Structure 1
Amino acid sequence: MRIAAVLRPRSGVGPVFTLGHGLSRNNPTQPLAFPLRVDNKNPRAWMSLSFQLRLDDEGSYLTVHSSYCAIFSDEGLQSCLCHFDYEREKDRYTSAHVQVYGTSPALEALNGKGDQKRTLDTLHIPVGGRRFRPCIEDVIEFLINE
């Protein structure tokens, strides 16, 4: 499995690079998922990841503008376990967060009559802000340990 970096076409904010698996000149923006395994057995999980990189506001350093790392239980990417997201300067919720898929009796109990019905996967659970966002190594360690 290889990660490629591709210059995005016409970003409007200066050069923007996308990092991910399966990127090329013909596919500069949509990374492909890849199987996760520790041996030669059939994979039981797949990872999809994407990083958008550009120069910082001073134009001095390459910085992550957004990132996405998701774990799926199927190759078709229809059944997501969770995804770790980072979006620089997000307004409505914390820049670095995790979204978990599943059911939560506690959340269902909190969804009162007449309230907006929130599902677990719509909650943006903070993971420590811009400086302490999880890195890909953290996600890999999580997968190995859990």
Structure 2
Amino acid sequence: MTDASVELTERVQGFAQELMDTLTAVVGFPVGFEVKVGTSRSRPQVSISQSEPLGVPLTVDGDVLFRLLVQFRCRWNTAGNYLAVEQSAFTVRIEKISEPFFHYDYVRDAHGSVPVSHLNIHAHRDEVVWAMLMARTNRGKRRSKDAAKGKITRISTLHFPLGGHRHRPSLEDVLEMLVHEFGIDHADTAENAIAEGRRRFRSIQTAVGAHDDPEAAAAALRELGYVVSAPEQGPIRRTDRLGRY
């Protein structure tokens, strides 16, 4: 194993420890992850997955209702100085059902019409409604009470998070999905217009994101060779926006 591979493995192990700490703090019991070094490619790669092959058990009132599977494949970024995620998948399955309920995927080098970051929903309506009614949150209890009164539980009330303030999908993402997935009629100029609009949107979000975490932005610029100095009274890190659901 080369020095680069050793360092990459160490970085990934640190990342895996962060995942273990987070999940353990959330579910209330120890959650383990395994780190495996890949040897099939000349470029070093390291993968992370949960130790429990069936997935991390997620309970409601003590009964296992879901399984969470977490997978990452990591490598160095192009410059060779950052740990980069090449692929990730967060899959939620209903207990004893093999097909996923839903999964979030990221594929760094996705090809064709597949978005690099996307959400797939596999479950049928009955499974989704069942899961919604089993929730023991205030929202779930409200659904159950409404159902007992004869009100239909609607999937339209289920909310999937998509990146918070700065990393949310743009209009261009929706338009391109409609082109690729449903074949909507579009002009010859559509592809360039969508790409340009998306670049504009993400440039703005990058700039505004620097206001949320100026020290992180300044550190990144210094790594690129820029000279950045902090003002006497530096702006406050917007932890509220950075941590927003």
The normalised TM-score by structure 1 is: 0.58
* 1:3 Cα offset (Å): 1.8
In the alignment, structure 1 residue 62 sits paired with structure 2 residue 92? no
1:30-82 deviation per Cα after TM superposition (whole angstroms, max 9, x unaligned): x551211366x12100011100000011111111000011100024x513210
**1:3 aligned residue (33, 45, 64):** 33
Structure having greater relative contact order (Cα 8 Å, sep ≥ 6): 1
Distance 1:16 1:94 in 2: 22
Residue matched to 1:112:
none
Q: Sequence identity, in percent?
A: 23
Matched, 1:52 2:52: no
CA distance in 2, matches of 1:78, 1:32: 10
Aligned counterpart in structure 2 of residue 81 of structure 1, from 86, 92, 101: 101
Aligned position for 2:56? 34
Classify the secondary structure of the residue corresponding to 2:115: coil
Query: What is the distance in 2 between the residues matched to 1:87 and 1:51?
Result: 10
C-alpha distance in 2 between matches for 1:45 and 1:32: 10
Pick one of 38, 46, 49 that aligns with 1:20: 49
Higher percent of residues as strand: 1
- Matched residues, number: 101
**Measured at CA, do residues 32 and 57 of structure 1 come closer, stay the same or move farther in structure 2, by a change above 3 Å?**
farther
Gaps in structure 1 of 5+ consecutive residues? 24-30, 105-126, 134-140
Rg larger for: 2
Q: TM-score, with normalisation over the residues of structure 2?
A: 0.36
* Structure with greater proportional helix content: 2
Moved >3 Å (runs of 4+): none
1:60 is paired with a residue whose SS is: coil
Contact 1:20–1:32 (Cα < 8 Å) also in 2:
no
Unaligned segments of structure 2, at least 5 residues:
1-30, 126-161, 169-243
Could you tell me which amino acid in structure 2 is paired with residue 2 of structure 1? G
2:174 alignment partner in structure 1: none
Structure 1 residue 20, shift from structure 2 partner: 1.2
Change (3 A) 1:17 1:132: farther
Q: Is the 8 A contact 2:49 2:72 kept in 1?
A: yes
Q: CA RMSD in A?
A: 2.9
